[in-house]
Structure 1
Amino acid sequence: MVRDDLYITAPSFFRCPISLDVMKSPVSLCTGVTYDRTSIQRWLDNGNNTCPATMQVLYTKDFIPNSNLQRLIQIWSDSVQQRVDSPESRAVTESDSVPSRDQVLIAVADVEGNSRLDPLVKIVRFALDSDENRDFLVKIVGFVARLVGLLLNVDGGVEFLELVVKALDLVLEKIEDHEWLNNSMLKKQREGESRCDCLDSLLLVLQEGGSDSRIASVRVLKSIAMDAESKQLIAEKEGLLSELLKLITPEKDPLLIENGLSCLIAITTPKQNKVKLVNLGAIRTFSKLLLEPNMSVSIVEKVLKLLETMSSRKEGRVEICEEPECVAAILNKVIKISNVATEHAVTTLWSVCYLFRDQKAQEAVIKANGLTKILLLMQSNCSPSVRKMCSELLKIFRVNSKSCLSCYDTKTTHIMPF
């Protein structure tokens, strides 16, 4: 990643407790300790049933991707690579390691009113190093307000805005007054001013920034989507929803897809926003994600959540039923994913097939052998609400059972409950 003649100090919590190298794919065990996927998999494959760091016996050997840590490592890695690749790169000394608190206070004072990158680079590096550092930054009087003010400086360029957004994202969880942040970032939108606003800057980062800064941008957007008014203002920003949809195509970084989906879930609560998203072709995009074989459980759950949300509007139901592969893709996620995925998938099918009696959707369920999946699901340990919706779905097909069964080629037809 870096040249041998450079001295790079990686934050200690970026290193795997087993290999002591910076983690490429951090995953957490049930004990809460995070390791690099390759190292912990090798440990478990060797027959060990304990956590290497704590020596606790593992009640499950499953591990969960640590997305937040992976994002921080990526930001740090990109920052290091930029220094290595820059014409001004030189042998790094101890003075180029994590800045001290005094140095950061100077950087915060220096960052106001100019577009130089150096102070922001120091702030981001300091914030990446530890949770305590992020606490320190937020407590600096006027620090967050300065970051918000810097987002109005589109003339500073994309690289400048990327650093501002990264710095803001790193301290988001430490900001206590999110209502103030929401009001500050959307003030010009509320007042109807046409001059550059914070949403312009976030949109520019989404369009031209790197993967890690795009993730930071959607996280900031999600944090200010607090109420119906703010969600409406964000959705009304020209090009913003369509840009968010571009971030969640299957070929993109999974971490970017997951954060993009989370942002869309937050924004599209108002009915007008749901319709806008449908009109932008969101249903087709969601279908493509469901058809991808290697998408994580978390991504699948979020896609199904959005489809359930879209199915609450007539426009969404029409698109779900018109999209050739959508209903079949939802059916494929009804079982063997997670309880959350099952709930969202069944609710969507129930909405279009039972509640609104769409003929095309009913035919698509039969064609995709959906009755088998519904019956299997009813015989599983599903929730009462899922069982009730499955039962009501079966009633739909009971009305015309002969025509259904003519298409229902399976050995399990003898257990049909009608």
Structure 2
Amino acid sequence: MREILHEDKDKDKVGTGGTEGMRGSLEPLDVGVQIPYYFRCPISLELMRDPVTVCTGQTYDRASIESWVATGNTTCPVTRVPLTDFTLIPNHTLRRLIQDWCVANRSFGIERIPTPKQPADPALVRSLLHQASSASALPASRLSALRRLRALARDSDKNRALISANNVSELLLSVVFHSDSADLSHEALALLALFQLSEPQCALVASDPDRVSYLVSLLSHSSVDVRVNSAAVIEMAVSGTRSPELRSQVSNAEGIFEGVIGILNYPLAYPRASKIGVKALFALCLVKQHRQRAVTAGAVDALVDRLADFEKCDAERALATVELLCRIPSGCEAFSAHALTVPLLVKIILKISDRATEYAAGALLSLCSASDQAQRDAVVAGVLTQLLLLVQSDCTDRAKRKAQMLLKLLRDSWPEDSIGNSDDFGCSDVVAF
């Protein structure tokens, strides 16, 4: 730290002299422009994006000083004086000076740092929570408090953690299910969807048929936001309880699959719908006895039609759901009947992640075990090459086992001149059958 505090000012110029460590720390700004030393955080040596002042009067970048304190340090990094107050006061003047400097040097490729959103005031959060939960307060006042809390929660993870620490989920559950105002209930639901429910809270929702029925009824609401928020809470309730009986009770609710699949089919212009929709569908399909209801409700078409549009985590859930539904005869038949199923599954192998590869191989194994046409379609789509690459890759052992079983199953369908029917087959990592 002494080297940081007493280094020669000539080292402030990026791209000229100075230690290797300093050049490395300032590499993003290595454009040959002199950075004022007081614009740099004494901890990271980088340009401060959110300067804050501690009780000793020293200024640091917020992320750096918070990391310093989080690792157990209780002294000021510069002065070594004990921090008697951990309040971080935004240094707005310095931040504006840094922003002006960035603008003045934009010809060097330096971008203006954005004005950071300040963390929520704990006292304000407590006041808003009290206002939102007060039965004596006017509905408009409670609604305003919930909206302000949701805005704070969406601003940052820190704000969500602060709000969550005040037992917000219990308060919101009460408003969602016991409020006489639909607006209040829907706003509380929107805020609740941003937090995690504890296992007892999940059981509280899942075990009450009236609460489940209310959430399911919201899946057909005119507002897509209400529908998606309801699906998010349903997914949390199903995933968060360990009781198979409670999971089955929720997934057996009338209209629940139709509502969730309707959200999954919502236009791509609203990506949160497909993200929450596939999460909820996967959670519901984990209950084996009700998978038939998912197929009847149109899950097969919805999954195949959206498969190419999902991002990594959502694609993994979608493929896991496909594999689950392929384990029942009606699901396997429905996927086989969709012309795009097999080509898409073959194309996805090795393209997304190890998990996605495993689920895609498992779904293909089920489909090809049940249908000769699926076998022919898979071979035409190039599954042979994909499977040979798979078994020689670093993917999971389960994926390799599924691939080997599929290779054995498809061997009679391979072209006469294919690798699988040649003398070179024994040279691969696939065990000869």
Q: TM-score range with shorter-chain normalisation?
A: 0.5 to 0.7
Deviation per CA, 1:329-382, whole angstroms, max 9, x where unpaired? 1111112222111111111112332xx443232122123232232223234333
Deviation per CA, 1:156-184, whole angstroms, max 9, x where unpaired? 23x433311122233x33x5x422x1233
The equivalences for 1:191-340 within 5 A come to 197=211, 199-201=213-215, 203-204=217-218, 207-211=221-225, 213-225=226-238, 226=241, 227-249=243-265, 251-252=267-268, 253-290=270-307, 292=308, 294-340=309-355
Superposition deviation, residue 289 in structure 1: 1.5
Deviation per CA, 1:181-225, whole angstroms, max 9, x where unpaired? 123323431xxxxxx5354146416633344x5444333212211
Do 1:161 and 1:205's aligned partners in 2 also have CA atoms closer than 8 Å? Answer: no
Task: Give the 4+ runs in structure 1 shifted more than 6 A.
Answer: 52-56, 410-413
Q: Which of 1 and 2 has greater Rg? A: 2
Aligned: 1:405 with 2:415:
yes
Normalised to the residue count of structure 2, the TM-score between the two structures is 0.61
Normalised to the residue count of structure 1, the TM-score between the two structures is 0.63
Instruction: Tell me, in whole angstroms, the C-alpha distance in 2 between the residues paired with 1:232 and 1:113.
Output: 39
Q: Residue in 1 aligned with 2:376? A: 363
Instruction: Tell me, in whole angstroms, the C-alpha distance in 1 between the residues paired with 2:361 and 2:181.
Output: 48
Q: Whose relative contact order is higher, 1 or 2, with alpha carbons under 8 Å and at least 6 apart?
A: 1
Q: Residue in 2 aligned with 1:25? A: none
Secondary structure, counterpart of 1:207 in structure 2: coil
Do 1:274 and 1:310's aligned partners in 2 also have CA atoms closer than 8 Å? Answer: yes
Do 2:216 and 2:255's aligned partners in 1 also have CA atoms closer than 8 Å? Answer: no
Aligned: 1:178 with 2:199:
yes
Unaligned runs of 5+ residues in structure 1 are 1-42, 47-51, 57-96, 190-195
Instruction: Tell me, in whole angstroms, the C-alpha distance in 1 between the residues paired with 2:323 and 2:373.
Output: 17
Q: Give, as a single letter, the amino acid of the residue that structure 2 aligns with 1:200.
A: Y
Do 2:176 and 2:185's aligned partners in 1 also have CA atoms closer than 8 Å? Answer: yes
Q: Which moved more, 1:245-254 or 1:295-304?
A: 245-254
Alignment length, in residue pairs?
Answer: 308
Do 1:151 and 1:201's aligned partners in 2 also have CA atoms closer than 8 Å? Answer: no
Q: Residue in 1 aligned with 2:173? A: 148
Instruction: Tell me, in whole angstroms, the C-alpha distance in 2 between the residues paired with 1:284 and 1:229.
Output: 28
Do 1:250 and 1:288's aligned partners in 2 also have CA atoms closer than 8 Å? Answer: no
Q: Give, as a single letter, the amino acid of the residue that structure 2 aligns with 1:122.
A: R
Deviation per CA, 1:117-161, whole angstroms, max 9, x where unpaired? 2232233345445656545545557x544422322357523x433
CA RMSD of aligned residues (A): 3.6
Superposition deviation, residue 296 in structure 1: 1.6
Change (3 A) 1:361 1:250: farther
Q: Residue in 1 aligned with 2:9? A: none
Q: Quick one: percent identity of the two aligned structures?
A: 20
Change (3 A) 1:223 1:112: farther
Q: Among residues 393, 396, 404, which one is paired with 1:380 in the alignment? A: 393
Instruction: Tell me, in whole angstroms, the C-alpha distance in 2 between the residues paired with 1:186 and 1:112.
Output: 29
Superposition deviation, residue 323 in structure 1: 1.9
Aligned: 1:349 with 2:361:
no
Do 1:110 and 1:119's aligned partners in 2 also have CA atoms closer than 8 Å? Answer: no
Instruction: Tell me, in whole angstroms, the C-alpha distance in 1 between the residues paired with 2:215 and 2:291.
Output: 24
Q: Residue in 2 aligned with 1:121? A: 147
Do 1:308 and 1:348's aligned partners in 2 also have CA atoms closer than 8 Å? Answer: yes
Secondary structure, counterpart of 1:332 in structure 2: helix
Q: Give, as a single letter, the amino acid of the residue that structure 2 aligns with 1:335.
A: L
